[in-house]
Amino acid sequence: MASLLVWVVGGLLAYRLAISVYRLYFHPLRKIPGPKLAAMTTAYQFYYEIIKQGTFIWHLEKLHEIYGPIIRVGPREVHIKDSEYYDTIYASSGRRREKDAATVAQFDIAGSSFSSISPEVHRMRRSPVEKFFSKGAITRMEQNLQKYLDKLVAHVEQAQKTHKVLTLDAGFAALTSDIIHEYVFGIHTGNLDQEDFNEHIRDGVNGLFRLGHLARFIPWLQPTMNSMPRFLVEKLSPYAFALMDQKQFIHEQVVNIQNGQSTGQSGSVMEKLTSPGLPDHFKSARNLSDEGFALVIGGTETTARSLSVGMFYLLSEPRHVQKLREELRAVMPTPTTKPTWNQLEQLPYLAGVVLETLRLSTGIASRSPRVAPSESLVYKDYTIPPGHLVSQTNYFVLMDPSIFPDPEAFDPERWTRAAAKGERLDRYLVNFSKGSRICLGMNLAYAEIYLTIATLIRRFELELFETTKKNIEFARDFGTPYPDEGNYSLRVLVKGLVSE
């Protein structure tokens, strides 16, 4: 028995040695610079992502300082830090790009357009959905956005009367969650009707990203959790239970809509997606549930976090608030005036505030690799053969000092200065990615950010309460940016109402 064990262990070690030698000296990526251990095994990334908890992005930055703009970060992955090369990796439909199966599997939503690997499947799944998120479609639902924004305003007014500290980050998550649930499923989740904004929604979404981050390295984790009894999952991992709970809730909504038993409003996105005109394979309960889950998670967390980051920077420097409020008077002559998204877009300083909000909030933090299956990608003196992973990091583009001087600063006027010189800084605003896979919910996010920031700044005198840059600063990458400890947070005092 002992000798058999020795043979097994010896065989495994020999196999690992052979694989390592191949990856170092014979692999098609062998000429790409980078640490040898990273070329040999994904355990290199695992150490920084899981053991050191989401710090690989900062190690990656140091690696680029050592090896240059192109490095091999895994056995089959190359990372490039060059803002001008971003469009080559995240290309439009004219140049075939695929997603990485292992990367998208971490979210366990294989039936969604987000997780589609090939451009053909992606196009087939996305096409029926994207018309509901066009700029025209979002403009037509603006009254609905305003309805939920009014509920958030009521919380702020109540906090002003009672001198209560307001947890705005939870308020923003409640706002975006209520909006996307009603739009996609026609249901009223009521987060904004609760005094604490139903804070577990915010905490649950944060937990989902943390679990997905772990599942990137442990692909069997989510399938295993899915097969376990709910009570056991709840005991083992609140994050996994939150994920399971949300998915089951969404699945139930889809089945109810398919069976004509929905208690929600008619005309929802999901109701239209179950219409007879669409192919049956698209309309399976699993595929629609996966699509709905992707829309809900994508439509809740990133926009809510962007609002928190933007409001933090505004409230940190009163001159920004004063200048923005003065500009807003052009379309909001009284504090309670309700402007349209289109009206707000015409205001240059507000536009700069929104763009800086997006830039400093990053969006998706983790690398999202692409595969060019039939094209060799050439970068400087290096050739990346077809079929290998190539990625960039959004944060590195958004904080590139050659494009955004003094990148750490919140400077809304950098956008107006650039526009006056004919420079298109928006080319480098990559929060929503680029190319054929650009974020489906981009227009909804813009509308929510414009309307929310304008409303709060024009109506209320707000002051930060026990909130510093550490509470919102990007320190750890769990798919989206997290501060060094806990989750991002924004607490404020409502000092008064803005006079005419």
- Name the residue among 167, 206, 173 with its Cα closest to residue 467: 167
Exposure string over 169-185, b if 16+ CB within 10 A, otherwise e: bbbbbbbbbbbbbbbbb
494 and 460 Cβ atoms separated by less than 8 Å: yes
* CA–CA separation, 500 and 328 (whole Å): 12
Location of structure tokens 């992707």: 294
Buried b (16+ CB within 10 A) or exposed e, 346-370: ebebbbbbbbbbbbbbbbbbbbbbb
- Smallest CA-to-CA distance from 299 within 168, 205, 203 is with 205
CA distances from 472 to 196, 353, 456 (A): 20, 17, 19
Tell whether the torsion through CA atoms of 493, 495, 497 and 500 is positive or negative: negative
The length of the chain is 500
Measured CA angle at 224 (ends 222, 225), to 5 deg: 65
C-alpha torsion sign, points 423, 429, 331, 163: negative
Extract the tokens encoding 37: 């251990």
DSSP code of residue 133 = G
**How many whole angstroms separate alpha carbon 367 and alpha carbon 8?**
36
Across the strands, what pairs with 74? 77
User: Are 321 and 464 contacting, i.e. CB atoms less than 8 angstroms apart?
Assistant: no
- 439 in a labelled binding site: yes
Q: How many CB atoms lie within 10 A of CB 162?
A: 9
Q: Are 447 and 138 in contact (CB under 8 A)?
A: yes
What are the CA-CA distances from residue 353 to residues 163, 409, 412 (Å)? 28, 12, 5
For the chain, helix, strand, coil in percent to 5 are: 55, 10, 35
From CA 275, how far away is CA 404, in angstroms rounded? 46
Q: Which residues are annotated as a binding site for heme?
A: 439
Q: Which residues are annotated as a binding site?
A: 439
